[in-house]
C-alpha cells in the first residue's frame, strides 16, 4: 500500500459485525490508523482504495471501522484539518495525535458500553416523526391545535386516527399543550404512550420524560389533569395540576407537589435545588455531545443554582469555583470531573 501509515496485518475470520463484542488489538489498531490517515488531509486516492479493501476483507474489519467512525463523531478524537483551527481556540486542551490513536484503539477494542448506547439504533432517529439532538429543542404545531415542545435528545412519533390522537415518546422529554381538536364532532382522546404505560390528557398542559427503556416515566401536570395507566398493571391514577409523579410498567410512586409553574428546560434553564451532583451531571450531559463523567466521590456532593443550558461548557468550567471538584479534558467531547482533596 502507499501512504505514510502501515495498518496492522489482515486477520482472516468469518464472524459478523457486532458492536457488543470485543475486537482484537491488532484490528483495532489498524482501524485507528486508517481513520487517522483518512482524517489527516494527506491521504491519497490509493489510500482510500486500500482502506476500502481492508474493510471488505473481513467482517471484523468493518465492525472496527464503524465503531471507530462512531467514536470519532462523538468524541472528536481525530478532528479533520478544516476543524483544527476552531478546536485550537477551544478552552479544552487538545491531545497529541499519538495519544488520540492510543485512546481510539482502546475504545474500538472494548465492547460497546455507555458511550455507544445512543447509536445502537441510529435508524430510529430518521424513522421517527420528530427527533432532536443533544442541546436541540423544537416546537411543533399539530393538526388538532396541540403545541408540542420537544426537549433535547428526544424521539417522538405522532399517530392521529379517527378514534384517538396518540403521541409516542420513545425517548426524551416533551411539553404538551393539548388542542381543541376542531373539525371532529366527537372530540378524540389525547394520549401519550411510553414504554412504561399510557397517559390520557383531560384538557391540559403537562410534561412527559422517559430516558431509558427499563427506567421510569416522569409526568408533571401544570394545568388540567392526566390519567396514568401503567402497561403491566390494572392500577390507574388521576394526576391533578400542580402535581408530579414517576411510574414504571407495574407501579405508580406517590405524587408530589411541583416546585415550578413551568418546566425549567422550556425557559432554557437547569434548576438544581440541593440536587445530588451525579444526577446534575447526568442531566447536563443530555444537553451536550460526547462523554461527561463524574467520579463516585464527586457524585455525592450537592449543588444549588439556576444554570443556562445554551452554554454547557461555561457551566462545566465554573464548577471548580463553587464545588471541591477538578475538571479534566481528553478532548472537548470527553470531560471528566473528579473530587478535589482539600
pLDDT digits over 53-93, tens only? 999 888 899 888 888 887 776 665 554 443 333 333 333 44
Rounding to the nearest 10 degrees, give the CA dihedral for residues 93, 96, 97, 103.
-80
What are the cell numbers at 5?
501509515
Rounded CA-CA distance 71/73 in Å is 5
3 within a domain of the structure (yes/no)? no
262 within a domain of the structure (yes/no)? no
196 within a domain of the structure (yes/no)? yes
Rounded CA-CA distance 266/342 in Å is 38
Provide the b/e sequence for 28-48 (b: ≥16 CB within 10 Å): bbbbbbbbbbbbbeebeeebe
304: CATH: 3.55.50.30
User: Is the pLDDT at 216 greater than 60, yes or no?
Assistant: yes
Domain total of the chain: 3
DSSP 264: G
pLDDT mean over 129-135: 90
Of 119, 139, 157, the position where a domain reaches its end is: 119
pLDDT mean over 266-274: 92
pLDDT of residue 12: 35
pLDDT of residue 110: 60
pLDDT in tens, 91-112: 344 456 666 676 677 677 765 4
Of 209, 232, 257, the position where a domain reaches its end is: 257
Over the chain, what is the mean pLDDT? 82
Of the ranges 17-21, 30-34, 223-227, the best mean pLDDT one: 223-227
User: Is the pLDDT at 185 greater than 90, yes or no?
Assistant: no
Q: Are residues 138 and 249 in the same domain?
A: yes
Q: Which domain holds residue 113?
A: 25-119
Amino acid at each position: 500500500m502507499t501512504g505514510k501509515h502501515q495498518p496492522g496485518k489482515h486477520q482472516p475470520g468469518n464472524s459478523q459485525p457486532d458492536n457488543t463484542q470485543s475486537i482484537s488489538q491488532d484490528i483495532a489498531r489498524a482501524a485507528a490508523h486508517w481513520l487517522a490517515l483518512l482524517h489527516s488531509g494527506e491521504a491519497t486516492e490509493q489510500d482510500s482504495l486500500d482502506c476500502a479493501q481492508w474493510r471488505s476483507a473481513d467482517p471484523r474489519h468493518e465492525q472496527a471501522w464503524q465503531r471507530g467512525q462512531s467514536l470519532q463523531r462523538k468524541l472528536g478524537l481525530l478532528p479533520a484539518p478544516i476543524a483544527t483551527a476552531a478546536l485550537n481556540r477551544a478552552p479544552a486542551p487538545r491531545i497529541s495525535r499519538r495519544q488520540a490513536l492510543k485512546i481510539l484503539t482502546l475504545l474500538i477494542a472494548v465492547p460497546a458500553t455507555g458511550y455507544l448506547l445512543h447509536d445502537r439504533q441510529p435508524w430510529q432517529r430518521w424513522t421517527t416523526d420528530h427527533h432532536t439532538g443533544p442541546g436541540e429543542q423544537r416546537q411543533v404545531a399539530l393538526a388538532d391545535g396541540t403545541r408540542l415542545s420537544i426537549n433535547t435528545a428526544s424521539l417522538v412519533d405522532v399517530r392521529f386516527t379517527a378514534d384517538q390522537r396518540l403521541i409516542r415518546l420513545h425517548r426524551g422529554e416533551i411539553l404538551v399543550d393539548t388542542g381543541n381538536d376542531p373539525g371532529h364532532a366527537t372530540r378524540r382522546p389525547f394520549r401519550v404512550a411510553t414504554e412504561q404505560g399510557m397517559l390520557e390528557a383531560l384538557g391540559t398542559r403537562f410534561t412527559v420524560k422517559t430516558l431509558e427503556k427499563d427506567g421510569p416515566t416522569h409526568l408533571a401536570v401544570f394545568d388540567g389533569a392526566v390519567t396514568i395507566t401503567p402497561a403491566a398493571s390494572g392500577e390507574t391514577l388521576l394526576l391533578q395540576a400542580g402535581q408530579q409523579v414517576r411510574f414504571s410498567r407495574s407501579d405508580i410512586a406517590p405524587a408530589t407537589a411541583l416546585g415550578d409553574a413551568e418546566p425549567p428546560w422550556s425557559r432554557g434553564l437547569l434548576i438544581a435545588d440541593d440536587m445530588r451532583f451525579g444526577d446534575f451531571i447526568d442531566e447536563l450531559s443530555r444537553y451536550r455531545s460526547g462523554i461527561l463523567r463524574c467520579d463516585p466521590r464527586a457524585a455525592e456532593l450537592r449543588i444549588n443554582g439556576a444554570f443556562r443550558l445554551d452554554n454547557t461548557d461555561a457551566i462545566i468550567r465554573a464548577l471548580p469555583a463553587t464545588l471541591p471538584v477538578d475538571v479534566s479534558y481528553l478532548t472537548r467531547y470527553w470531560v471528566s470531573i473528579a473530587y478535589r482533596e482539600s
